[in-house]
Amino acid sequence: MEIPIESAIKKPKRLTSIVWNHFERVRKADICYAVCVHCNKKLSGSSNSGTTHLRNHLMRCLKRSNFDVSQLLAAKRRKKDNTVGLANINCDEAQRKDEYMKPALIKFDQDLKKDDIVTIASGKFDNDRSRLDLARMIILHGYPLTMVDHVGFKVFVKNLQPLFEVVPNNDVEHFCMEIYRKEKRQVYQAINSLQGRINLSVEMWSSPENVEYLCLTAHYIDEDWKLQKKVLNFVTLDPTHTEDSLSEVISKCLMDWDIHSKLFAFTLDDCSTDDDIVLRIKDRISQSRPLAGHGQLFDIRSAAHLLNSIVQDVLEALREVIQKIRGSFKHVRSSQVVQGKFNEIAQQVGINSERRLILDFPVRWNSTYIMLETALEYRGAFSLLQEHDPSYASSLTDTEWEWTSFVTGYLKLLVEITNVFSGNKSPTASIYFPEICHVHIQLIEWCKSPDDFLSCMALKMKAKFDKYWSKCSLALAVAAILDPRFKMKLVEYYYSQIYGSTALDRIKEVSDGIKELFDAYSICSTMVDQGSALPGSSLPSTSSDTRDRLKGFDKFLYETSQSQNVISDLDKYLEEPVFPRNCDFNILNWWKVHTPRYPILSMMARDVLGTPMSTVAPESAFSIGGRVLDQCRSSLNPDIRQALVCTQDWLQVELKDVNPFSSHSAARPLLIESS
């Protein structure tokens, strides 16, 4: 019997989509509705409307209990994923339901290599894994732990993944500590497996509540000749701490990381820091392992901090003049009438500058330099402004303009040098010597000024510089000698200008210093060949082992072998012509290639070039204030604070790999400017 066509059309269509498990289909008159069984909301239930709008409603339905939405998500993607080859797809609804693809989840596993970060995983949702990923995100980007309590975050997560159970920030702290401990083990293994030595820098931080912190960072050149740094500790100091207790804290950190016997140099951020701190640490370290070259290169002070300190002296000496210039800028910008009158005067005296009169930001001294430079361009206009505007009361005298001109010249040099330090992506110790020598030469000239104000200012600057130079000049010179483009020639060039008639004696001091250091490494190399040195050490052990009784013999053997016409690595290196200078030169690549040619000298070069001659982060290069921790981090307890600061530093490499265009400062939001 033949079935009428009209009967076939009226046969209701089977509802096969899983969406209909959550909707009741209701027909009123000629309109078909889909009513949500959770919230009773009515939506279009017509067969022509499809199910996408129903699925979207389910993802956002606040009254719906959590359930596995993997099939819903997969159905949403199915059309896009199966676009190619539609002719081969069976259109039977029941069969397609069984062929749903499981959703692709992006997993950020800290154990995976960067090339394997994005993986196609099973559709099963892992709450613990997601919580660790959340904690890792908070650490990496410096987000506040309390973000998990924010309503906006909770709504976002619920809509994104209803199965995710948001935990309180106390639990987030637990996950952060778990990541910290795991990453710390990896850092510990990395720095303790190094064949060379480690350099350490110490920075003092503060908080808006005037709490002080100590940040200890390891600097080294790894086996692939890449410059590395790792923040090891971020210690909250007791308010009653003394210089003696500070050295105890540092020594304890070194012992905890088991690197006290691998230390080569120790860099402090302030030239005025009490020398007793360094002496105490030096004594503790030398009890377990002798320092290289009797520790002549051990005590280093930050070059960038020196420049900032000198700048503060300059700005303080010119404080009244700078205030007048700020007042002049404010007066001109006070109204359009005054601005127009000033522009007319500028045109009359032939000033065609397009610079705007922008006030400086006092805690950023490079902005003050720009303001002074702009003021000098408009000097003629400011000088005539008082004649045309009786209300202008911030005019400078001719002498004050001359002072401003000289000081701006000083600041220009210091800005250029600071840019060299902060702009170098691989700031090895070798880049500092020529820049610091140039400052030295200019200071000598500035002190000769016939103007009492300028000469007095220069003498104060030079006194501060001389203290730094007495501590760091040998380390700076040795690092420059290990640059194959310079060798001893650069020392001879600058010392002849700095010391004049006594230059030869000073050059000999540097020559003797680098030879003494090389001899120490050569003795160590002899002991390594004989199996009497500890792995990973650059100098022999001083343990109570009986073999140490022959320590003197090792030195005797090395010294007597020198008389057998065997040229040393150092002599061979210094006698060969300097390498041509070019802008693409990479000193670490050069030493990596030439290690077989200079096996002992390359050991020494790795330790020397890895010495941090500056401890200022690039984003803080021109900051007059110290480093200040933001209130979000300063309000935490000391353990979690240290974990967050250290782990964020350790994870920086991952952030750079994922987004190579991100700036360094964007990844370190812990720092705020100090006023």
Q: What is the 3-state secondary structure (H, E, C) of 251-270?
A: HHHHHHHCCHHHEEEEEECC
Closest by Cα among 589, 588, 593, 590 to 608: 588
Interval 179-197 mean pLDDT: 93
More confident residue, 101 or 411: 411
Q: In the 8-state DSSP scheme, what is residue 219? A: E
Mean pLDDT is lowest, of 14-23, 160-169, 444-453, 644-653, for 14-23
- Rounded to 5 degrees, φ, ψ at 214 are -120, 125
pTM, rounded to two decimals: 0.75
**Does 534 score more than 80 pLDDT?**
no
Contact 66, 58 (CB under 8 A): no
What is the structure's pLDDT at 594? 95
Strand 198-206 and strand 212-221: the pairing is antiparallel
For Cα atoms 294, 226, 214, give the angle at the middle one, nearest 5 degrees.
60
**pLDDT number for residue 306:** 93
Measured distance CA(268)–CA(271) in Å, rounded: 7
> What is the pLDDT of the chain when averaged over all its residues?
81
CB 491 within 8 A of CB 519: no
pLDDT at 332 over 60: yes
Asked whether 366 and 622 are in contact (CB, 8 A), the reply is yes
Q: Are 278 and 270 in contact (CB under 8 A)?
A: no
Between 451 and 124, the higher pLDDT residue: 451
How far apart, in whole angstroms, are the C-alpha atoms of residue 638 and residue 660? 32
Q: Among 220, 221, 223, 265, which residue's Cα sits nearest to residue 476?
A: 265
Query: Is 658 in contact with 667 (CB distance < 8 Å)?
Result: no
Of 24-33, 248-257, 314-323, 433-442, the poorest mean pLDDT is in 24-33
**What pLDDT does 281 receive?**
82
Average pLDDT over residues 490-518: 95
Element (H, E) at 76: helix 70-81
| pLDDT band at residue 549 using 50, 70 and 90 as cut-offs | low
pLDDT for 95 equals 40
Pairing of strands 627-629, 671-672: antiparallel
d(CA 153, CA 574): 62
Tokens of 79: 């059309």
pLDDT band at 589 (very low <50, low <70, confident <90, very high): very high
Average pLDDT of the segment spanning 307-326? 94
Question: Beta 198-206 vs 42-44: how paired, if at all?
Answer: unpaired
Answer whether residue 148 shows pLDDT above 60. Answer: yes
Lowest mean pLDDT among 213-227, 444-458, 490-504, 642-656: 642-656
- The label of the residue with tokens 């050069």 reads 590
Instruction: Determine the length of the chain.
Output: 675
Pairing of strands 299-301, 263-268: parallel
Per mean pLDDT, which range of 143-147, 167-171, 276-280, 466-470 is the poorest? 276-280
Model confidence at 118, in pLDDT bands (50, 70, 90)? very low
Task: Output the six-digit token pair for 589.
Answer: 């690549």
Number of neighbouring beta carbons within 10 Å of residue 213 = 23
Show contacts of 2-8: CB within 8 Å, 24+ apart. none
pLDDT bracket for residue 526 (50, 70, 90): low
State yes or no: pLDDT of 142 exceeds 60. Answer: yes
Residue 551 has pLDDT above 90, yes or no: no
Amino acid at 110: Q
What is the Cα–Cα distance from 211 to 191, expressed in whole angstroms? 30
Position with higher pLDDT, 553 vs 128: 128
Q: Average the pLDDT over 284-291 and give the result.
A: 65
Q: What gap in Å lies between CA 475 and CA 297, rounded to an integer?
A: 5
Tokens of 201: 């820098």
Query: Per-residue b/e over 261-286, b at no fewer than 16 CB within 10 Å?
Result: bbbbbbbbbbbebeeebbebbbebbb
Which of 468, 484, 404, 407 shows the shortest CA–CA distance to 435? 468
CA 205 to mean position of chain CA atoms: 15
Q: Return the residue matching tokens 């290069």.
A: 621
- How many angstroms separate the CA atoms of 425 and 442, rounded? 27
Question: Taken in order 81, 83, 84, 88, is the CA torsion positive or negative?
Answer: positive
pLDDT in tens, 336-368: 999 999 999 999 999 988 889 999 999 899 999
Which range in 54-58, 68-72, 462-466 is most confidently predicted, on average pLDDT?
Answer: 462-466
Helix 243-257 / helix 169-192 crossing angle, nearest 10 deg: 80
The answer on pLDDT for 121 being more than 60 is no
State how far the Cα of 438 lies from the Cα of 443, in Å rounded to an integer.
9
Confidence of residue 626 (pLDDT cuts 50, 70, 90): confident
> For residues 564 and 567, what is the distance between their CA atoms, to the nearest angstrom?
9
Buried b (16+ CB within 10 A) or exposed e, 1-28: eeeeeeeeeeeeeebebebeebbeeeee
pLDDT at 156 over 80: yes
**HSE value, Cβ hemisphere, 13 Å, CA-based, for 373:** 16
**pLDDT of 248 above 70:** yes
Of 216, 105, 209, which is closest to residue 161 (Cα–Cα)? 105
CA distance 36 to 668: 47
| Terminal-residue alpha carbon distance, the chain | 95
